[in-house]
Chains A and B, each alone.
Chain A
Amino acid sequence: MRIYSAASEETLRARKLLKDWHGEGLLSEAQYKLFEQETVSELRTTNVFLRIVLFFFTLIVVAAVGGLFGVTFLRGSSDQTLGIFLVIYAGVCYWAAEIAVSQARLYRYGIEEALAVCSVVCLSLGILLAFFSSYWGRQSGIRSLVPAAGAIASLWIWHRFGLWYAFPSAMVFALYAPDAWASSPAARHVLVALLYAIGLICVIAVRSRHRLDYLERDYSLAEAFLWLGIYLVLNLQLSSLNLRALWVVGGMGAASEFPGWFYWTTWVLIWCVPLVVLARGIRQKDRFVMAVGTTVLILTLVTNKPYLGWPRYTWDPMLLGILLIGGALFIRRWLARGPGGVRAGFTAARLSGKDKQWLNATSAVLGLVTPQSITSSPQTTSADFRFGGGASGGGGAGGDY
């Protein structure tokens, strides 16, 4: 089912690990060179920048070829004709992606990824135009066919090509599938959460067979996305996108849209889910699941007050900051005090050079973004001025300059 052989992917994984270990001084130069020769893969890979640029230009080619065909042969055609063309074009894109891998042996090269992504987009758009552009189509209950087709195609791309971002895209499609099945917002939330929960059960069942092999990361990410999806669907303050109520007014916002019993059940669940996710992440030693567990726990802390209809205070972010800093320092010290700096199989020490690279790259980028994000209001110079948000206090390349 998978387009790449297990041996090829294991070899690539081994090469990555060897490079990392060599960078950290865990392997000598001679050892690294020897092992590198033993882990030659026939797959063609590239660096991340080239991958992004090749993805970008392949998107342009696909869009331009489709557009050229459209303006040459399909000008003035009906939506149905355009839709059928797009469905056929989706097939062509998918076939090209398969050829790019089977013939050119491309692996995470940008080109085959863009072709696969375009096949999903064209398929969904094509089905929408071909079958649901007319009045009867919009009224029909089978309109959920479009997101269903998109979700299935995305899942197939994820499974076949191993592209991690195809999985959350399938989840986004699945988000719209229940629109035709249920009229009430509460029922839609329940249906989406159920869909994600079924997916989660399947992923958990399958991933136990892939512990420590090259597929472990894929399934770990999929599980993390599903937990995140379930949480976001259950947290009505976030999923209803009532941000004004959440951040400014501090009122209950989403409460009026849902029945009371449903609203308060979700409030209980948004406290339970983070604990379950964190516990599972720690038990499985799964860093993606742990990261999602921590993220959703923070989101619960942030949305708890709006959920309860309590007023939000200006010092709440300070308390959250102190909690995060305190928590991180406590965990770090607790781990460091263990024998060899290890407790329960965890350590706070850096074991991979990638961690440092990530920190260096992100800190340089965040340094440019941070001042604007925390000091954003424009200045005013009126006599009765009330200090307006600390805009542009230096590092900020400020608002009014």
Chain B
Amino acid sequence: MTILTRLEHWKDQGAISPEQEVFLAGLCRGEPLSLFLELNVLLYAGVLAFVAGLGWTVATWSKQLGDVLVLAVLSIILTVCFWYCFSRAPAWSRAQTPAPTVIFDYVLYLGCLVWCLELAYLENRFQVLSGQWDFYLLATAILFFFLAYRFDNRFVLSLALSSLAGWFGLTISRWQFHQDATYRQCALLYCVVIGIGAVLLERRGLKPHFFGTYLNIAANVAFWAVLSGMFDRQGSWLWSFALFVACGASLAWGIKRRQFVFVAYAAVYGYVGFSWILLRNVNDATVAMLYFVITAVAMLVALVRIARRFGKSA
């Protein structure tokens, strides 16, 4: 029985009104077909291409164009973007608020990315802060947090979190194991700061829908930091204990809040970490294979049990 037949049946039963049936059947047939997602993707790609071209042009032609022209153009774009956002934004609310216009979010993205370009240009040309990039990152993070909360924008929140990570000495996209222990400490400190911040903001009811973004980023950075500590061999038992605690917390949170992504983090990061500890001194391929067969089957059984409990709701 297709969905169209079911709708007809429900209409005959009186479970849905004829108008509802017509509307829902139209949606099934793609009448009308919504291009909402496609148009948003085009806008995002357009902003990204524009800023990439702007950065490339400035980088290549800055000498010919001159500092005044480059800074004037970047400042004008920046001012127009932020003027647009502040003039169109509705009154601030603690709760989730929709964007006032179609292009609002994209103008805000453009402004934020141009801000990054302009700061980079200023520092590279004039060394205003004598290469103290961490101050730029901190200032940028503060600005982006403000904009994210003012305009209720997850993309800008992610920019703010990555800037803050940069300030903490974390280059998320270029993370490698076996780096200096300081990086791990910075990563854990970063997780603690954004974790506590997220909890406080959520408790105060300030954009509580942002909480998931904070928590996902904090969980991933914490797991990577702990895993890198385990791979370092020095003090690996301490890191093993930390991984055990992190996995337990993630699992408990995932099950309690029915957010399976945290159960998945606990399963995958925990399996990788503990397998490393148990297998690092094993040279026999048969033992290693046997270990993987037994433990992976055990994980499958455990996860299927959890899945049955969760169903498809998470």
Contacts and interface: CB of A to CB of B under 8 A. Distances in A.
Interface in A19-46: 21, 26-27, 31, 34-35, 38-39, 45-46
A398 B40 CA distance: 27
B216 to A, nearest CB: 8
Interface of A is mostly: helix
A386 B62 contact: yes
Nearest to A104: B304
Contact of A321 (B48, B157, B299, B310): B48
A394 B163 contact: yes
Interface stretch (A153-161, A162-170, A341-349): A341-349
A321 B292 contact: no
B180 interface: no
Contacts of A50: 260, 263-264, 303, 306-307, 310, 314
Nearest to A391: B120
B169 A368 contact: no
Contacts of A380: 124
Interface string A363-389: 111111111111101011100011111
B166 A392 contact: yes
A396 to B, nearest CB: 6
A388 B121 CA distance: 9
Contacts of B31: 285, 345
Contact of B286 (A71, A322, A399): A71
A49 interface: yes
B261 to A, nearest CB: 5
Interface stretch (A198-206, A257-265, A311-319): A311-319
Nearest to B163: A395
A390 B117 contact: yes
B113 A374 contact: yes
B39 A64 contact: no
B171 A397 contact: yes
B90 interface: no
Contacts, number: 358
Nearest to A111: B300
A119 B45 CA distance: 38
B115 A393 contact: yes
Contacts of B6: 14, 35, 38-39
Contact of B4 (A212, A315, A370): A212
A135 interface: no
A136 interface: no
Given A327-B42, A387-B58, A397-B173, A317 B49 contact: yes
B15 to A, nearest CB: 6
Interface string A138-181: 00000000000000000000000000000000000000000000
A173 B144 CA distance: 46
A173 B52 CA distance: 35
B3 A397 contact: no
Interface in B100-120: 102-103, 105-106, 112-113, 115-120
A58 B300 CA distance: 7
Contacts of B141: 394
Contacts of A121: none
Interface in B35-67: 35-40, 42-63
B35 A348 contact: yes
B197 interface: no
B71 to A, nearest CB: 11
A390 B120 contact: yes
A183 interface: no
A325 B46 contact: yes
B251 to A, nearest CB: 12
A91 to B, nearest CB: 19
Given A342-B32, A368-B162, A370-B159, A54 B133 contact: no
Nearest to B300: A57
Interface in A97-140: 109, 111
Given A213-B2, A321-B46, A325-B47, A397 B166 contact: yes
Given A47-B310, A317-B52, A324-B42, A393 B120 contact: yes
Contacts of A52: 264
Contact of B292 (A49, A64, A320, A335): A64
Nearest to B289: A68
Contacts of A26: 20, 23-24, 27
B116 A371 contact: yes
A138 to B, nearest CB: 29
Contacts of A381: 127, 131
Given A7-B1, A68-B286, A379 B117 contact: no
A369 B43 CA distance: 17
Nearest to B292: A64
A212 B27 CA distance: 11
B55 A367 contact: no
Interface stretch (A77-85, A233-241, A266-274, A287-295): A287-295
A249 interface: no
8 contacts: A21-B27, A47-B260, A57-B271, A321-B52, A346-B33, A374-B51, A387-B58, A393-B140
Given A27-B16, A377-B59, A393-B119, 12 more contacts: A50-B314, A53-B267, A64-B289, A314-B60, A320-B49, A346-B35, A347-B33, A390-B55, A394-B141, A395-B112, A395-B163, A397-B172
Leading 3 A-B pairs by shortest Cβ distance: A367-B158, A321-B50, A394-B140
